[in-house]
Structure 1
Amino acid sequence: MLEALGLSTVNESVYRAMLTHPALDVAGLAAHLDLDPAQVHAALDVLADLALVRLDDTDGTARAVRPQTGLAALLAKVEADIAVRQQQIEAVRAAIADIAVTHEQHEVVLRLEGIDAVRDRLAELARTATTECLSFSPGGAQPADTLHAEAPLNAAALDRGVRIRNVYQDSFRNDPATLAHARRMATLGSESRTVPTLPMRLIIVDRSIALTPIDPREPRLGALELRSPGLVAGLLALFDQVWQQGSPFGEVPGARAGELTPQERALLQLFADGHTDESAARQLGISARSVQRLMNALTERLQASSRFQAGVEASRRGWI
């Protein structure tokens, strides 16, 4: 009945049972509903994420939030999300129309169809670049053919005095080929940093031309070449912000004693934002199994018995 609010049948049954029998603990709820305790723990994690369950400050037990407050607030959030999504759709529609007009009237947006067209254009830009090349490389392992194609072009640009700055995801350090490529470029003068997540694939040349994927989910479909000063300025600001937050290549992203690594902090924030193991893995450029391993380690480190309790403890420590 409440699937539209993000609750499965099991989650809803646990929530209803907590409202009807507030004295039941996890074992009691499992027995009452004929569920495995692990299912109850998982349901509590979901209910906590949806602000339908809170920890009692007096005894640390989980308490169900009154439906007049919890469900009503959740419904209002869903309605607000729909309204925001509709606004985003309208904004995207307007942006598409603007790009189309710009392309037709001023030719400041070019569509490069397919990966070969993109590589040909990048080769041309690498040969003509005079000052700087910036890039985001999301995901972990970079395609071998991409690394092979860009290595000599980057080397030639660096030899001409062009500054090259790359931002990879932290997970790239797990791929020997990508790591070797970054090390080889570093010896030639290229600068690289890493961050836990990247918004998209991006290349900016001489602070005046930017290439972004036609579809970020399928970069091999092609790219848009942007020359509009306003669009490029916005992408430059995004690059500079991410660059400042990155860990320089050669330094393993870490944390001071008692704190989180950037990747751990990003993982907790992704779960706080409602991501599943699979979607968090895609954002971080790692496997779902790695996500589970990281989260299990964090839960153990926080001495928590569930992800919900781990989130509460991480929040209490000011980690998220």
Structure 2
Amino acid sequence: MLQSLGVSLKAETVYRAALQHQHHGVSALATTTGLTETEVRTALDELAELALLKPSAQVDGKLRPVSPDVGLAKLLASAEAQVALQQAKMKEARAEIAAITAEHQRAWPFDGAIRLDGLDAIRSRLEELQRTAEFECLSLNPGGAHKPEARQTAGPLNEEALKRGVTIRAVCQDSFRNNSDTLAYARWLVELGSEMRSVPAVPIQMVIVDRRIALLPVQPDDPRAGALEVRSPAIVAALHALFEQVWENGLPFGQQVPRDETGCTPAERELLQGAAAGDTDETAARKLGVSLRTVRRMMSQLMERLDAASRFQAGVNAAKRGWL
């Protein structure tokens, strides 16, 4: 195939036929190649422009095919020159990127943190980190369903990172299993090779890349407000230890949420612990990443099982019965 040299498929077909039947005219070439006479004429014009056909020295107005080791070699040399020029440009661009990156990195304080204001800045930085990750991306994800636009942005980047051999581990809240779209996205990621686990309540939103950079929300109750990018080895190591502890206690994606000997799920146990500590329904809903209505339904069922007249009494009775 000569398309990489700028020769169309039809022109190549006519050229090959002309080499074998140098005395064929347009009509005969059409019969030989199975093309129409119009297509043959167009192909002959193309071949002439590429200098693969030249005027015959014997017959006026007739074109003869140029030998492949001359005509095609010339086209190949031209293509190779273009590739070499492009490679030189890519080399220059790579050096420029390295220089810009070095300048950018020098602007970072070694033990300090850089603030990323707003959701756009956070997503842009996450895209950069996912594209440059070398071996690992870890994340803690509080809340329930993931926003569709966030999944659309992260999906291709995660797929690209996984293909490069980057390990992706994510911890979500159990409540994400209640959203069909988020569940389908999680199933897709796991099938690609990432690992996911869930826990009743995720302590904080967090991303760690290659155990050297961590992103944390400026306001834990409003992740959209902004983030802090931390590079301090001591702080990143502590955050990594937190991730591993949460990961160790998580339920692998695909397994059913278990119930303990008391019949409680991890989310119900978390709710009871919060009730014993005086958490409101609103606080419990935020911690578990579920709706206020869901928390009240869960609490009503637990109060009935514990013969309790109030949320606080439910927590106390749970402690007395050894549920906590």
* Bucket of the pairwise TM-score, normalised by the shorter protein: 0.5 to 0.7
SS of residue paired to 1:275: coil
Aligned length: 218
Corresponding position: 1:298 with 2:306 = no
- Quote the residue 2:138 is aligned against: 134
Distance 1:214 1:171 in 2: 24
Corresponding position: 1:273 with 2:273 = no
SS of residue paired to 2:270: helix
**1:193 aligned to which of 190, 193, 197:** 197
Corresponding position: 1:118 with 2:146 = no
Corresponding position: 1:172 with 2:176 = yes
Supply the AA of the counterpart residue of 1:220. R
Corresponding position: 1:314 with 2:314 = no
Distance 2:108 2:190 in 1: 41
What is the TM-score when the length of structure 2 is the normalising length?
A: 0.64
SS of residue paired to 1:141: coil
Are residues 182 and 224 of structure 1, via their aligned partners in 2, closer, same or farther at CA, if it must alter by over 3 Å? same
Identical aligned residues as a percent: 55
**1:222 aligned to which of 221, 226, 230:** 226
Are residues 174 and 109 of structure 1, via their aligned partners in 2, closer, same or farther at CA, if it must alter by over 3 Å? same
Corresponding position: 1:253 with 2:248 = no
Are residues 226 and 261 of structure 1, via their aligned partners in 2, closer, same or farther at CA, if it must alter by over 3 Å? same
Alpha-carbon deviation of 1:310?
Answer: 2.9
Distance 1:271 1:252 in 2: 25
Distance 1:304 1:180 in 2: 38
Alpha-carbon deviation of 1:282?
Answer: 0.9
Residues 81-160 of structure 1 correspond to what in structure 2 (within 5 A)?
A: 106=110, 108-160=112-164
SS of residue paired to 2:146: coil
Distance 1:311 1:216 in 2: 26
- Quote the residue 1:161 is aligned against: 165
Alpha-carbon deviation of 1:183?
Answer: 0.4
Supply the AA of the counterpart residue of 2:256. V
Distance 1:302 1:279 in 2: 21
Structure 1 gap segments, 5+ residues each: 1-102
**Kept in 2: contact 1:137–1:166 (CA 8 A):** yes
Deviation digits for residues 157-202 of structure 1, max 9, x if unmatched? Answer: 0111111000001111111111111000000011111111112210
Corresponding position: 1:202 with 2:206 = yes
**Kept in 1: contact 2:117–2:227 (CA 8 A):** yes
Supply the AA of the counterpart residue of 1:114. G
SS of residue paired to 2:114: strand
Alpha-carbon deviation of 1:212?
Answer: 0.6
Distance 2:230 2:239 in 1: 10
**Higher Cα Rg, which structure:** 2
SS of residue paired to 2:144: coil
Distance 1:256 1:106 in 2: 46
**Kept in 2: contact 1:259–1:319 (CA 8 A):** no
Alpha-carbon deviation of 1:257?
Answer: 4.3
What is the TM-score when the length of structure 1 is the normalising length?
A: 0.65
**Kept in 1: contact 2:278–2:312 (CA 8 A):** no
Alpha-carbon deviation of 1:107?
Answer: 6.7
Corresponding position: 1:211 with 2:215 = yes
Structure 2 gap segments, 5+ residues each: 1-106
Deviation digits for residues 105-153 of structure 1, max 9, x if unmatched? Answer: 5474221121111111111111111111000111001111111110000
**Kept in 1: contact 2:276–2:312 (CA 8 A):** no
Supply the AA of the counterpart residue of 1:146. A
**Kept in 1: contact 2:262–2:323 (CA 8 A):** no
